[in-house]
């Protein structure tokens, strides 16, 4: 089974209002089986230029679990907390094949 990561590039335009989203979503992701591994910390640019966006990455056991979270009514409700506070680009990418690691 292939794990998956949701990778988000976020340009925050209203940090104060965005905090409600930041406080709600990691808890919700955990309820759906996700685990945040990066939550917008400072980045050290090693090559090329960077546009100043924050990076968020959460790990999922598989794509189906990530999609259940992303498409859930609970997340749709939480997403309302960030309206007008940011610009997001979100990718769902395959991770490691855990069967090969055993």
> CA-to-CA distance for 100 and 1, rounded, in angstroms?
9
Nearest to 35 by CA among 9, 20, 57: 57
**pTM across the whole model:** 0.84
pLDDT in tens, 78-101: 999 999 998 989 999 987 665 555
pLDDT in tens, 59-69: 999 999 999 99
Q: Of the CATH numbers 3.40.1390.20, 3.40.640.10, 3.40.50.300, 3.30.70.100, which one belongs to the domain with range 2-43+60-94? A: 3.30.70.100
Q: Where are the domains of the chain?
A: 2-43+60-94
């Amino acid at each position: 089974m292939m794990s998956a990561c949701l990778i988000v590039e976020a340009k925050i335009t209203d940090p104060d209002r965005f905090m409600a989203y930041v406080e709600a979503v990691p808890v919700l992701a955990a309820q759906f089986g996700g685990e945040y591994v990066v939550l917008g910390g400072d980045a050290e640019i090693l090559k090329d230029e960077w546009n100043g966006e924050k990076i968020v990455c959460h790990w999922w056991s598989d794509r189906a679990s990530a999609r259940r979270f992303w498409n859930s009514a609970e997340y749709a409700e939480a997403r309302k907390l960030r309206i007008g506070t940011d610009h997001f680009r979100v990718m769902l990418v395959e991770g490691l094949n855990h069967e090969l690691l055993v």
